[in-house]
């Protein structure tokens, strides 16, 4: 099981927002956004909600789970 | 000559500690407080200073083992690391919060702390063996231990932070 996300797509849909700008809006470092986008770091529930709220979407629309075997 | 150098180092250390203390109390009340920000650059600079202090300390401990403790050189080498952490404390005081890092930075630091603890035990065993065989003499073991710890901690924090 792996937690993936649509943050990159959401950024592009949001006027090609940069990782830096998103990081600033959410209140984290750019490196944290990079790690979350690449699914290298699983954000806390609070951070997941912050990201979802920023894009006016539900958490499930941003984050989803995939089975790594498939 | 050595006594003069020791006195000079002690005075420098005292001056830096007093200045750091004054900065902690005065900067949050001054206009300078707006310039004190915590961001990714400060985090990376902190870890880089840690690596630099660690490498310098180990190098000096190896080259001048007789002076590193005796002349308080280890405290002088560690001073930049102390100053950058004073900067963190000042930012905390300005923001009136201890939460100045984001959750991944905190996570990376805690992982690095675990790694440092795990490596410091065998490192201490090796240093103790060297001490027993009189390769490491006097209190030099302490400088080796502290600089190895700082080096491992800072480099692993930076590595985890950049690994994405």
Do the chains contact at B105 and A32, CB–CB below 8 Å?
yes
Inter-CA distances, B29 with A11, A70, B22, Å: 39, 58, 11
Instruction: Tell me the C-alpha distance between B88 and B102, whole Å.
Output: 14
Shortest CA distance from A30: residue in chain B:
B40
Residue B91 has, within 13 A of its CA and on its CB side, a CA count of: 17
Q: Report pLDDT for B4.
A: 87
Question: What is the band of A69 on the pLDDT scale with cuts at 50, 70, 90?
Answer: low
CA-nearest residue to A24 within chain B is: B39
Confidence of residue A70 (pLDDT cuts 50, 70, 90): low
Q: A2-66: which CATH topology?
A: 434 Repressor (Amino-terminal Domain) (1.10.260)
Q: Greater confidence, B66 or B119?
A: B119
pLDDT mean over B139-159:
95
Chain B: closest CA distance from residue A23 (Å): 10
Question: Considering only CB atoms, which chain A residues are within 8 Å of B39?
Answer: 29
Could you state, in order of their start, the residue ranges of all structural domains in chain A?
2-66
Q: Which of A38-52, B79-93, B122-136 has the lowest mean pLDDT?
A: B122-136
What ipTM did this prediction achieve?
0.82
| Contact by Cβ (8 Å): A4, A62 | no
Domain ranges of chain B: 2-162
Query: How many angstroms separate the CA atoms of B107 and B50, rounded?
Result: 18
Instruction: Say if CB A68 and CB A1 are below 8 A apart.
Output: yes
> What element of type H or E holds A5?
strand A2-5
Neighboring chain B residues of A32 at a CB cutoff of 8 Å: 102-105
* Cα–Cα dist B161/B153, whole Å: 12
Nearest to B104 among A27, A28, A38 (CB): A28
Contacts of A24 in chain B (CB under 8 A): none
Does residue B83 have a pLDDT over 90? yes
Q: What is the pLDDT of residue B70?
A: 86
């Amino acid at each position: 099981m792996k937690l993936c996300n649509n943050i990159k797509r959401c950024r592009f849909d949001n006027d090609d927002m940069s990782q830096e700008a998103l990081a600033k809006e959410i209140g984290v470092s750019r490196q944290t956004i990079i790690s979350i986008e690449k699914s290298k770091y699983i954000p806390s529930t609070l951070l997941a909600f912050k990201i979802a709220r920023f894009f006016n979407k539900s958490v499930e629309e941003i984050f989803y789970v995939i089975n790594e075997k498939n | 000559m050595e006594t003069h150098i020791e006195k000079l180092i002690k005075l420098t250390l005292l001056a830096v500690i007093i200045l750091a203390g004054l900065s902690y109390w005065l900067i949050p009340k001054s206009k300078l407080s707006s310039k004190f920000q915590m961001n990714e650059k400060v985090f990376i600079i902190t870890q880089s200073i840690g690596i630099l202090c660690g490498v310098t300390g180990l190098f000096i401990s190896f080259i001048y083992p007789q002076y590193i403790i005796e002349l308080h050189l280890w405290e002088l080498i560690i001073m930049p690391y102390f100053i950058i952490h004073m900067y963190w404390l000042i930012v905390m005081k300005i923001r009136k919060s201890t939460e100045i890092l984001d959750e991944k930075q905190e996570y990376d630091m805690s992982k690095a702390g675990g790694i440092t603890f795990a490596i410091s035990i065998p490192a201490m065993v090796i240093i103790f063996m060297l001490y027993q065989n009189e390769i490491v003499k006097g209190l030099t073991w302490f400088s080796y231990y502290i600089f190895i710890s700082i080096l491992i901690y800072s480099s692993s924090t930076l590595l985890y932070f950049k690994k994405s």
